[in-house]
């Protein structure tokens, strides 16, 4: 936490951070988009939003910038991202604190989000010297066949409130080293962190000095501005993170104009606790996965299947952890569970709990915790023992609800685990090698992330991140996710004096 601003009212704290990061006051005063902190429910700022024509003009400028940037050698582009990483390091405590103010995260999670941004910069700098294609054996003598990766164009980024800046950085760091420009539509619930992050990138651009004008933009506004980005023909890829509802709208619009999509949508993540599990480890992993970030991570644990033989050993301990976890202002006293983002999130949580009860669920927790702030929504995390997986258990409710179910047959629990729409993250707790390997095998978990003896949340940037089915199928961050931000050309060169045709075809004229 930044000592200099610690005791100020929350709006002033936010303004002081923005000022230190070089964001002009005019950008967040006197505008039409109100920003709030879920910590107290207070308004923090009112931001100027962009119009559809402003957004189109920015996209056109980004397209011009792309045409120059793609000619800059990739390792040189990596130098810009290296500087961005340096700027993030020096702004880490301020930006992390702003993430806490705007998204309600604990200080360590706010800082962790900025650390993820730094990590992806480091990854992308190395990548800037490794954007290589294959040389492939050709059937024709005197020929060489290879693939070349070229920059794609303007990359649109749409992000959700719960990772207000890390997801943008995952996309931006890769997009920039790959030779693209970026236009970002952040969540309307977390616009101040967006201004701050954009300001940090602009500092890096200034130090770099040689980047074309208009390489990175931020569009402050609501979903209508997101739609401009989705529909603009110069935006070649949209990486959209948010609810499955949003993906259902965005995906077909992109497909209609043959633009690429990376869809990172909702999760309904499951964990299985087997008879041989290390229960102390499972307890800690489940507690963090289900209650951490107040259940507002796309990878939060939402369904827990516990084997009959260990149910009575694990679940009472879990209930105890639920009953005693600290809920409250995460910046003031170090509560582990902070606020829900807003009233809508609270209402959705209560609705799901009522439905769960109607279906025979036993609810522990879930009630509102009063903090003296009428517009801040703190809740006791809810653990719900369910007789069967149906109703609200099948859907993602973006709040701290953990549905706990008993199982006694491994094949049946694998089938139940996979019997939901989403396919993001999953985990199994077992010391039995056969169960662990089976969970990771072709007929095991159907998710994009499948873990053994680790919870569902808290991914590292080195792996590709994303999920299957209603999670959208997109991958971003590490591994070879960079390929989505480039176009592949297959090149065949004939250095012989003949013109043999492939597949033995003859065409003699």
Q: Which of 169, 147, 172, 163 is nearest to 237 (CA)?
A: 172
Nearest distance, CB of residue 258 and ligand NAD, angstroms: 18
Report the residue from 211, 251, 266, 473 that binds ligand NAD according to the rule CB under 6 A: 266
Nearest distance, CB of residue 244 and ligand NAD, angstroms: 6
List the Cα angle 112/117/120 in 5-degree steps. Answer: 120
- CA distance between the termini of the chain: 78
Residue 470 contacts residue 423 (beta carbons within 8 Å): yes
When asked if residue 226 is in the footprint of ligand NAD (CB under 6 A), the reply is yes
C-beta of 94 vs 188, nearer to ligand NAD: 188
Q: How far apart are CA 396 and CA 403, in angstroms?
A: 11
When asked if residue 287 is in the footprint of ligand NAD (CB under 6 A), the reply is no
C-beta of 64 vs 243, nearer to ligand NAD: 243
> For residue 263, what are the contacts with CB-CB under 8 A and spacing of at least 6?
240, 247, 250, 251, 471, 472, 473, 474
Spot the catalytic one: 13, 202, 264, 385. Answer: 264
When asked if residue 66 is in the footprint of ligand NAD (CB under 6 A), the reply is no
The SS3 of residue 304 is strand
Q: How far apart are CA 454 and CA 452, in angstroms?
A: 5
Residue 423 contacts residue 446 (beta carbons within 8 Å): yes
Nearest distance, CB of residue 432 and ligand NAD, angstroms: 30
The SS3 of residue 296 is coil
Instruction: Candidates 147-155, 182-190, 412-420, 495-503: pick the segment binding ligand NAD (CB under 6 A).
Output: 182-190
Copy the structure tokens of residue 60.
């056109």
When asked if residue 339 is in the footprint of ligand NAD (CB under 6 A), the reply is no
Q: Outline where 178-258 has alpha helix (H).
A: 191-208, 223-231, 244-256
CB burial string 44-83: b at 16+ within 10 A, e below: bbebbbbeeebbbebbebbbbbbeebbebebeebbbbbbb
Nearest distance, CB of residue 503 and ligand NAD, angstroms: 43
Residues 433-472 that bind ligand NAD (CB under 6 A): 471
Report the residue from 143, 144, 223, 406 that binds ligand NAD according to the rule CB under 6 A: 223
When asked if residue 74 is in the footprint of ligand NAD (CB under 6 A), the reply is no
> For residue 354, what are the contacts with CB-CB under 8 A and spacing of at least 6?
none
When asked if residue 227 is in the footprint of ligand NAD (CB under 6 A), the reply is yes
Report the residue from 156, 179, 199, 242 that binds ligand NAD according to the rule CB under 6 A: 242
C-beta of 5 vs 239, nearer to ligand NAD: 239
Residues 130-149 that bind ligand NAD (CB under 6 A): none
Nearest distance, CB of residue 345 and ligand NAD, angstroms: 8
| Number of chain positions touching ligand NAD (CB under 6 A) | 29
When asked if residue 185 is in the footprint of ligand NAD (CB under 6 A), the reply is yes
- CA separation (Å) from 65 to 51, 70, 202, 213? 21, 9, 14, 6
C-beta of 69 vs 184, nearer to ligand NAD: 184
Nearest distance, CB of residue 161 and ligand NAD, angstroms: 4
Instruction: Candidates 176-184, 263-271, 373-381, 405-413: pick the segment binding ligand NAD (CB under 6 A).
Output: 263-271
Spot the catalytic one: 121, 274, 298, 447. Answer: 298
Element (H, E) at 150: strand 143-151
When asked if residue 398 is in the footprint of ligand NAD (CB under 6 A), the reply is yes
Instruction: Candidates 21-29, 156-164, 280-288, 454-462: pick the segment binding ligand NAD (CB under 6 A).
Output: 156-164
- CA separation (Å) from 64 to 60, 69, 144, 235? 6, 9, 34, 12
Residue 470 contacts residue 244 (beta carbons within 8 Å): yes
Q: Is 298 a catalytic residue?
A: yes
Residue positions annotated with a catalytic role: 264, 298
- Residue ranges that bind ligand NAD, judged by CB under 6 A: 158-163, 185, 187-188, 222-223, 226-227, 230, 241-243, 246, 249-250, 264-267, 298, 396, 398, 424, 471
């Amino acid at each position: 936490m930044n000592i200099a601003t610690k005791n100020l009212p929350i709006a002033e704290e936010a303004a002081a951070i923005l000022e230190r990061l070089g964001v002009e006051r005019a950008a967040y005063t006197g505008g039409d988009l109100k920003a709030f902190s879920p910590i107290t429910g207070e308004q923090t700022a009112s931001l100027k939003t962009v119009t559809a024509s402003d957004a189109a003009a920015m996209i056109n400028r980004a397209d011009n910038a792309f045409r120059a940037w793609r000619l800059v050698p990739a390792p040189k582009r990596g130098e810009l991202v290296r500087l961005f990483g340096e700027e993030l390091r020096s702004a880490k405590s301020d930006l992390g604190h702003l993430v806490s103010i705007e998204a309600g995260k604990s200080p360590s999670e706010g800082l962790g989000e900025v650390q993820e941004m730094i990590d992806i910069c480091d990854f992308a700098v190395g990548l800037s010297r490794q954007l290589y294609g294959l040389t492939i054996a050709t059937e024709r003598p005197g020929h060489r066949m290879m693939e070349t990766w070229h920059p794609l164009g303007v990359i649109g980024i749409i992000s959700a409130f719960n990772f207000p800046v890390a997801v943008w950085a995952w996309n931006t760091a890769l997009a920039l080293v790959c030779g693209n420009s970026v236009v970002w539509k952040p969540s309307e619930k977390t616009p101040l962190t967006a201004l701050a992050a954009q300001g940090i990138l602009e500092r890096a651009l200034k130090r770099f000095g040689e980047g074309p004008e208009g390489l990175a933009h931020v569009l402050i506004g609501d979903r209508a501005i997101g739609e401009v980005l989705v529909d603009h023909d110069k935006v070649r890829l949209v990486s959209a993170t948010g609810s499955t509802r949003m993906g259902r709208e965005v995906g077909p619009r992109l497909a209609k104009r043959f633009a690429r999509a990376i869809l990172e949508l909702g999760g309904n993540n499951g964990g299985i606790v087997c008879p041989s599990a290390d229960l102390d480890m499972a307890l800690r992993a489940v507690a963090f996965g289900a209650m951490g970030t107040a259940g507002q991570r796309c990878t939060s644990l939402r369904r827990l299947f516990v084997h009959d033989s260990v149910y009575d050993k694990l679940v009472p301990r879990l209930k105890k952890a639920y009953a005693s976890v600290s809920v409250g202002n995460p910046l003031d006293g170090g509560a582990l569970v902070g606020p829900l983002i807003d009233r809508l999130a609270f209402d959705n949580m209560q609705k799901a709990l009522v439905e769960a009860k109607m279906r025979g669920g036993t609810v522990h927790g879930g009630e509102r915790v009063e903090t003296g702030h009428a517009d801040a929504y703190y809740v006791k995390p809810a653990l719900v023992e369910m007789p069967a997986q149906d109703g609200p258990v099948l859907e993602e409710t973006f709040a701290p609800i953990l549905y706990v179910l008993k199982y006694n047959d491994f094949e049946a629990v694998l089938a139940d685990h996979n019997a939901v729409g989403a396919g993001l993250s999953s985990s199994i707790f077992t010391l039995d090698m056969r169960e662990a390997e089976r969970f990771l095998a072709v007929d095991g978990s159907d998710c994009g992330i499948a873990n053994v003896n680790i919870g569902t949340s808290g991914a590292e940037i080195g792996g590709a991140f994303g999920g299957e089915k209603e999670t959208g199928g997109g991958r971003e961050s590490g591994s070879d996710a960079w390929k989505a931000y480039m176009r592949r050309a297959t090149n065949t060169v004939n250095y012989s004096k003949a013109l043999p045709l492939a597949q033995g075809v003859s065409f003699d004229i």
